[in-house]
Amino acid sequence: MSEFINYVPKNSVKILKSWINELEIDIIITNARKTKLGDFRFKNGSSKITINNNLNKYSFLITLTHELAHAFIFKEFKNNVLPHGDKWKHKYRSMLLSFLSTDNFPEDILKELSRFMINPRASTYSDHKLTMVLKKYDKSCCKYILDVKEGDTFQLSNGRLFVKGKLLRKRFKCIELKTNKIYLFHPYAEVQKTQFKK
């Protein structure tokens, strides 16, 4: 359990440890996954939470609190309530309040986190303003599809080239150059290279 303390703001550790001890839950730091930041699982009578190792300490704290809220709700209600329903939202909000100070977050994150907490979503990445301010504290200086201008070409880590199109609700419509097929990309999908129009 002690490994997680290297990933969160120092002032949050005491409260986190008390929750983890109360839940008797394992916290496992994993390699980065593209589809999720963290998750909660209950299997064979034991609970565990996995969190991606590439998150900055503020994103890690928010994600860990999100998953701990799931663990508390599961402990009380099992699978009898919606995963991100009202009971989870209330629990998550009350837990985040424990950290809502400059002891744990910079002012710019506090501002967006306070707004996000009014009606927390299933994924932090669903809230563009909060995601953008959290990304400022990432160690890597990645570019995201959100940073690419419409009509410009971008390349993914696998070498495939796309042209960025319009935003359709929550994802960008992009065309792969080689196949002319249309793909929808999350705004925070990472881009390796961009080639701007001249």
Q: What confidence score (pLDDT) does residue 196 get?
A: 58
Q: What confidence score (pLDDT) does residue 198 get?
A: 42
Range of the domain at 131: 2-135
Q: Do 171 and 92 lie in a common domain? A: no
Q: What is the mean pLDDT of each run of 10 residues along the chain (198 residues)?
A: 87 97 96 88 93 95 98 95 95 97 97 95 86 85 82 90 92 95 89 67
Alpha-carbon Rg of the chain, whole angstroms? 19
Q: Do 106 and 158 lie in a common domain? A: no
One-letter amino acid identity for 57?
Answer: K
Give the total number of structural domains in the chain. Answer: 2
Q: What confidence score (pLDDT) does residue 140 get?
A: 65
Q: What confidence score (pLDDT) does residue 2 get?
A: 60
Q: What is the dihedral of CA 103, 108, 110, 112, to 10 degrees?
A: -160
DSSP 6: G
Q: What share of the chain is helix, strand, coil (3-state, %, to 5)?
A: 40, 25, 40
- Tell me which of 135, 161, 177 is where a domain ends: 135
Q: Do 176 and 120 lie in a common domain? A: no
